[in-house]
Amino acid sequence: MSLLVIGTVAFDEVETPRGKTGKILGGAGTFIGLAASHLMDDIRIVSVVGGDFPEEHMNLLKKHNIDTQGIKVIPEGKTFFWAGRYHENMNNRDTLATELNVLADFDPVLPEEYKNSEYLMLGNLTPAIQKKVIQQMAKRPKLICMDTMNFWMDVALDDLLEVITMVDVLTINDEEARQLSGEYSLVTAARKILTMGPRYLIVKKGEHGALLFYEDKIFHAPAMPLEDVFDPTGAGDTFAGGFMGQIARNGDTGFENMKRALIYGSALASFTVEKFGTDRLVEISKEDIANRLEAFVKLTAFEI
């Protein structure tokens, strides 16, 4: 099974109550790809970077069996850069810098061999770009999952509403679900959003877990309570990558596997926050993941 990922490959600079980084590897595409790489092999990323993007970062992706030929390098350009500072509660953050750089003119062109990818994960980007990617596919992927955010609801709502008619799964956070639907209750919000196009809605609630809505069914995946959250950057993208990785791995888009995929996504995300950037995500073993999945079973199992 093959998974095509569209998303930023970027530099992050992060300050949390636990410390401060220099310019490190970040970006939605990076976290999605690395997370999925723990579950499957055939992963392709479409993105853009500048001439300042180090070979070592590119090699890290390749080492994780990620095909990087879709990452366009613009030698005279600079890589997308984001800097932020987290508050003590790790849920709120201030953006200190957003330098779009080469991302400002990102116009994704899919390599021929990517156009038959069976699964497609659209990271959080301009809806117009997400649409362009879908349109380049040679055949409809078995499942298209799309992440987005409140910013696009504010500045590109029409485009956004069009793209979500083209996808199977939409992932947004609770506030965004409320904004998109105009409904406060998440259940009512979800019901409304499921009439807008997607068959599945995932509502991300950060440290409070995530909800999956499908028809009249609801599934709740908790977040793993952790002793120390080091850096939340990339947790949502890791979640999406783990989710799609699990689905692409066994090719099952039924509700039972969707639920399982939510737990895989949550498990991988719980690693990402344990260290800065991708540090933890790239070092974990299959055994670490199996143990964490087992911890999720223990965290939630009960008998009536």
| Sites of contact with its own copies (CB under 8 A) | 88-89, 184-188, 205, 208-209, 211, 217-222, 225-229, 256, 259-260, 262-263, 293-294, 296-304
Dihedral of alpha carbons 136, 140, 142, 145, sign: positive
Cβ within 8 Å of residue 185, ≥6 positions away: none
Angstrom distance (rounded) from CA 263 to CA 259? 7
Name the one residue in this structure whose structure tokens are 């005279």.
76
Helix (H, G, I), strand (E, B) or coil at 141: coil
Minimum CB separation from its own copies for residue 294, in Å?
A: 8
Q: Are strands 10-16 and 81-86 parallel, antiparallel or unpaired?
A: parallel
Minimum CB separation from its own copies for residue 107, in Å?
A: 40
CA nearest neighbour of 171 among 205, 140, 142: 205
Token pair belonging to 59: 């090699």
Question: Judged by CB, which is closer to its own copies: 283, or 294?
Answer: 294
Minimum CB separation from its own copies for residue 106, in Å?
A: 36
Question: Judged by CB, which is closer to its own copies: 71, or 194?
Answer: 194
Question: Judged by CB, which is closer to its own copies: 211, or 247?
Answer: 211
Question: Judged by CB, which is closer to its own copies: 102, or 263?
Answer: 263
Report the residue count for the chain.
304
Minimum CB separation from its own copies for residue 208, in Å?
A: 4
Question: Judged by CB, which is closer to its own copies: 62, or 208?
Answer: 208
Question: Judged by CB, which is closer to its own copies: 71, or 203?
Answer: 203
Minimum CB separation from its own copies for residue 13, in Å?
A: 23
Question: Judged by CB, which is closer to its own copies: 16, or 30?
Answer: 16
With beta carbons less than 8 A apart as the criterion, state whether 9 and 30 touch: yes
CA distances from 235 to 26, 113, 157, 185, 265 (A): 11, 29, 25, 25, 9
Minimum CB separation from its own copies for residue 187, in Å?
A: 4
Q: What one-letter code names the amino acid at 272?
A: T
Minimum CB separation from its own copies for residue 79, in Å?
A: 33
Name the one residue in this structure whose structure tokens are 């069996």.
65
Question: Judged by CB, which is closer to its own copies: 88, or 287?
Answer: 88
Minimum CB separation from its own copies for residue 87, in Å?
A: 10
DSSP structure string for 71-122: EEEETTS---EEEEEE-TTSS-EEEEEEE-GGGGG------GGGTT-SEEEE
